[in-house]
Structure 1
């Protein structure tokens, strides 16, 4: 909601201070998301490590949780640094409309590739549980 208010204000009245505040807001949200993934993904990872070694699927889940946590943390951290850099350095603007290749590279690295990797890692759904009361007709 806050970001929408900033965008509307910028649309009505183009102000460089408000634009800076908007970029800092996005950077703060990105760093909070990165730290959230690190905190909760790390907690889940270490919780899974405490399970018995014989536990079924433990190794696969450790790999999944560790990979998703690392990918998401890294992407949000990169986004935070890039947005902060663009906020304080006029030459490092993210609005590169005249350079579509740079736009493609940036969004591929920080959005499309991580999303594709997470979807690939989590591609297999758990098997459906069959109710004890329901038995299919053969």
Structure 2
């Protein structure tokens, strides 16, 4: 969710729209999702019921789908806006590549997660967190967590240049 908020903020700032409510909206959305997840976990802990587990899995699939759509919407808008910049703009092609790649990676990652969690909600033979199938766990988490995170870090690896230190001049 943190990466999505960066896309949204960049999109709103680049369009010269106010961004003061974005932080509050981002925090409120995260609190609502995490509180809902905690309520589901407490319900599972109190009453280990297959219906509650089904609701929990569907909830996570829906959250992943909404995140995927959020990346596609805001990243796509930012990509289209950058594409409209003049061709001579410094760094335009690099930013287009960065925004397009990060958008595609995050969208695909959350869409795969949505599909796998959604399918596992309705198929009893497909479970995600099982101790007796470590290879299945490794493949799942590599595809939806580790590889996408590593790719995003690789794409965004270049940090802004450091500013030269301001020389100290004594007051005369």
Q: TM-score range by the shorter chain?
A: over 0.9
In structure 2, distance between residues paired with 1:40 and 1:81 = 21
1:127, CA displacement in angstroms?
A: 2.4
What's the counterpart of residue 136 of structure 1?
A: 167
Partners in 1 of 2:168 and 2:122 — Cα distance? 67
Give deviations 1:55-86, integer Å, cap 9, x for gaps.
Answer: 00000000000000000000000000000000
Structure 2 matches for 1:1-138, cutoff 5 A? Answer: 1-128=35-162, 135-137=166-168
Q: Could you list the runs of 5+ residues in structure 1 that have no partner in the other structure?
A: none
Moved over 3 A (4+): none
Number of equivalent positions = 135
Structure 2 SS opposite 1:126? coil
- Deviation at 1:96? 2.3
Give the TM-score normalised by structure 1: 0.92
Give the unaligned 5+ runs of structure 2. Answer: 1-34
Please report how far the alpha carbon of residue 49 of structure 1 lies from its aligned counterpart in structure 2 after TM superposition. Answer: 0.3
TM-score computed with the length of structure 2 as normaliser: 0.75
Counterpart Cα distance in 2 of 1:95 and 1:137: 58
Equivalent residue of 2:125, what SS? Answer: helix
Once the two structures are TM-superposed, the CA of residue 94 in structure 1 deviates from its matched residue by: 1.0
